[in-house]
A and B are shown apart, each in its own frame.
Chain A
Amino acid sequence: MVVLRGGMCPGLDEDLVRGLRAVDIKTVEDLVSSDIEELAQKCSVSYKALFAIRRVLLAQHTAFPVSGADLYEELLSSTAILSTGNPSLDKVLDSGLYTGEITELSGGPGSGKSQVCFGVAVHIAYHLKQSVIFIDTTGGLTARRLLQMLQAETNNTEEQMEALQRIHIFRLFDVFSLLDCLYGLRSGRLQQASVGGGSVKAVILDSVSAVISPLLGGKQNDGMSLMIQVAGVLKTMAKDFNVAALVTNHVTRSGSGELQPGLGVSWSHIPRTRILLERVEEATAVSHSSLRSATLIKSSRQGGTTRLLRIHSQIQLGDTLWAWLSSSGSASVCVAEAAS
């Protein structure tokens, strides 16, 4: 909804704007959709001038078509695949997080979503030497934990500090500050964060459901609209700046008792790839099971008949350390058990 203002384009002065407003043409959409001949007569303006104004406004505000070949070239040169630091998880994700897309991690409490996010941040900051933006909406992120994870990678304190400096943290607890933060990032702060530490390669949002789910339900539609807005700005940010967006989500039970990611059907279309994390009950009575199973619920790439759409992979989460080196790297490909 772009309101017509004087000076938007050559030929559109205040008088003309007032004249158009008098015949109920207030926005660019109104002007473009209306009959130019009729309008020229009503406002006593030359048809040519009005037609030229219409053409300029249309060119200014429309989205331009891009040829498929150009888009593909651009994608080839700019898409990167970021490893998560955990080989089994990478296998489920088809070699890692893709830039330009939103990947969703859902799971119940204690299923390890935040730990996976920390691990991804640490891996990108330390191994790939790129910056990460971490938006924490649950208050679960502590610098001490990140340091702990880094200490498992290296003993050099300077390198640890450097890596920590590459992780930029934002703490917010409601959807409006989230939108504020995301819009700010999109309009320039992302580039600022890139200065001095390698470009930003990932934006991690832990968790999106903590700020959105209180708004859903009830008779108001604001919640859904805000959710779509958050999704929109995340996607454009991912696409325009070539970053990988990783969000976490809670889980609910479906009608048949199965676990499913939260935030409903309208959110389910937004992430390109979705993973469900679950605790795995081990046979040995270990009080603190560190095994999790990651199931791929949605992916645009795993389309082959020879591949299972639901892939289970055992990820070993260290109790205090991100010990992915000792993880059960064999992606045991078991079939997802349906509600049986």
Chain B
Amino acid sequence: MCVCVCVCVCVCVCVCVCVRQSGVIYVCVCVCVCVCVCVSGKTELLYHLLCRCVLPVATGGLEVDVVFVDTDYSLDMLRLVNILESRLNTARSTSSPSDEAELRSCLSRLLVVHCSSSSQLLLTLHFLETSLSSRPGLALLLIDSISAFYWPDRCEGGASIAKQEEKLSKCTELLGRLLRDYRITVFATCHAIRRSYSGPPSSSSSSSSSSECDRPYLCRRWQRLVTHRLLCSRQEAANNMAATAGGSVEQRRRQVFTVNCTSSSSSSSSTTKKAYRSTSFYVTDGGVEFI
């Protein structure tokens, strides 16, 4: 039974934003950036967050509005609806026919915007400012992904790095202002551009592979805005399955994803503290299941 370490590394960066909701203050200023070489872990995490926010309180959600800024058409509505339905079904004790209505009300709390360039992203964020002021229930902004325009911007900027990073810097500045003024939570995903090469399969710790891949490459202003970084990595662990009656043993491999969260918060002292937490999850039909 060999344990195969997948070389995919996802880095999520979370910056928590304060959310004030009906008198209760959740201290979370979140700009979460998930960086991923493979897709599964990061997108599933976003769906998990989305579902948590739009589901009704009775089924374990928060009933807040969410804006999903989709820069690379990676939002799979069918998968999202799958997860929502399975969560609604598990929460409901008796099967009631008002399935559709609940699903619709959950989906109506979600706003999806497609952006095709960083200038359009900037204009859209300006436009969203008006939505933010008119919809007080809007608490979460998901950007998937913030690095989609990295290469086009680099090419357009020519030789000067300042010009290359100009558009993203402006977006970041605007995001910072939105964070301060409207107290929202922002999660952003960031694709890895470099593949990490893990050592021989025997080394199964994800931290060894994270050093090369999680080096941030977006502009400095963005790095300063981010307060939490979630590094996701994927591990394949062979699960033993009992032999079936027919005698054929099916070896099931379950993809285990690990998330390491580094949160850097500047406290009153001059040094910035770095807290480090880690958790793992599986991807199931009903979404993400934490171990």
Contacts and interface: CB of A to CB of B under 8 A. Distances in A.
B67 A65 contact: yes
In which size bucket is the chain A interface? Answer: 35 or more
A270 B148 CA distance: 10
Nearest to A269: B191
Contact of A227 (B72, B110, B151): B151
Given A58-B127, A232-B116, A300 B108 contact: no
A115 B25 CA distance: 59
A71 B112 CA distance: 8
Contacts of B149: 228
Nearest to B75: A71
B124 A225 contact: no
B152 A62 contact: no
B201 A339 contact: yes
Given A69-B104, A225-B154, A298-B40, A335 B113 contact: no
A171 to B, nearest CB: 27
Given A229-B152, A239-B73, A75 B78 contact: yes
B113 to A, nearest CB: 5
Given A68-B108, A266-B191, A304 B37 contact: no
Contact of A33 (B44, B122, B131): B122
A293 B170 CA distance: 48
Interface stretch (B12-20, B219-227, B282-290): B282-290
A306 to B, nearest CB: 8
Interface string B242-257: 0000000011111100
B28 interface: no
Contacts of B195: 254-255, 264-265
B77 interface: yes
A67 B43 contact: no
B194 interface: yes
B161 to A, nearest CB: 12
B155 A225 contact: yes
B126 interface: yes
Interface of B: 2, 4, 7, 36-40, 43-44, 54, 67-68, 72-74, 76-81, 104, 106-116, 119-120, 122-124, 126-128, 131, 145, 148-149, 151-152, 154-156, 170, 174, 191-195, 197-198, 201, 236, 250-255, 282-285, 287, 289
18 contacts: A28-B119, A59-B127, A61-B120, A63-B114, A68-B54, A68-B108, A75-B78, A225-B154, A228-B152, A236-B73, A254-B197, A265-B37, A266-B191, A305-B285, A335-B250, A335-B253, A338-B2, A339-B201
